[in-house]
Chains A and B, each alone.
Chain A
Amino acid sequence: EAQVTQNPRYLITVTGKKLTVTCSQNMNHEYMSWYRQDPGLGLRQIYYSMNVEVTDKGDVPEGYKVSRKEKRNFPLILESPSPNQTSLYFCASSLSWGNQETQYFGPGTRLLVL
């Protein structure tokens, strides 16, 4: 089954404790991205990747890191999480970066930073 998976689905952590949210897709998509969803703000893009070893900042990259060493994986790293990073996070992928490409979303990761 074609899908985007994220792990963990739920995470409670404390301020400053490094964490990684994994994202994997099995559709051989070139483009992957991370979003955060907050009430009243919709989804905002954190980082995106057009292909292996090609990443760039989205609208809200502060406090996050990403890497794209393999085509299928695009982990999101919070080196020193803070309470304002409490949010619902989505990973998404599409065949390429063109505007016609539909993005397929993972199930989401709900993060609470205490």
Chain B
Amino acid sequence: AQTVTQSQPEMSVQEAETVTLSCTYDTSESDYYLFWYKQPPSRQMILVIRQEAYKQQNATENRFSVNFQKAAKSFSLKISDSQLGDAAMYFCAYRTNNNDMRFGAGTRLTVKP
């Protein structure tokens, strides 16, 4: 079965520190995109960052960056200089050209002041 696994149900980080959220996935497709979504207490799903599987260079968006290891099917999210507003549930997902979009179960991130 094609799946997304987030092995850390909960993580915490001290404000201004760096935290890495793990994600592994399993798909038989070779052409796909990977995404990280943030879900704050408002429940809104907000795109944080995305990565094309064909690109070796890791995507970055300001304080957010990914470590994409295609062979290992790993797609971790690094948040630098953590802020209180980063506290949220984070979901890893992939989308294939066969319209297969899968989400992980999520990691709840707490930011301590």
Contact = CB atoms under 8 A, between A and B. Distances in A.
Q: Give the most central of B33, B43, B97: most A CB within 10 Å.
A: B43
Interface residues on B, range: 20 to 34
A42 B91 contact: yes
B31 A43 contact: no
B44 A107 contact: yes
Interface in B28-48: 31-33, 35, 37, 42-45, 47
Contact of A50 (B42, B93, B99): B99
Contacts, number: 50
Nearest to B91: A42
Interface in A61-98: 88, 90, 92, 97-98
A105 B97 contact: no
Given A42-B106, A48-B99, A102 B35 contact: yes
Contacts of A41: 105
Interface string A25-61: 0000000010100001111110010100000100000
Interface of B: 4, 6, 31-33, 35, 37, 42-45, 47, 50, 52, 91, 93, 95-97, 99, 101, 103-106
Interface of A: 33, 35, 40-45, 48, 50, 56, 88, 90, 92, 97-105, 107-108, 110
27 contacts: A33-B101, A41-B105, A42-B4, A42-B6, A42-B91, A42-B105, A43-B91, A43-B93, A44-B103, A45-B101, A48-B99, A50-B99, A88-B43, A90-B45, A92-B45, A97-B99, A98-B97, A99-B32, A99-B33, A102-B35, A102-B50, A103-B95, A105-B37, A105-B45, A107-B42, A107-B43, A107-B44
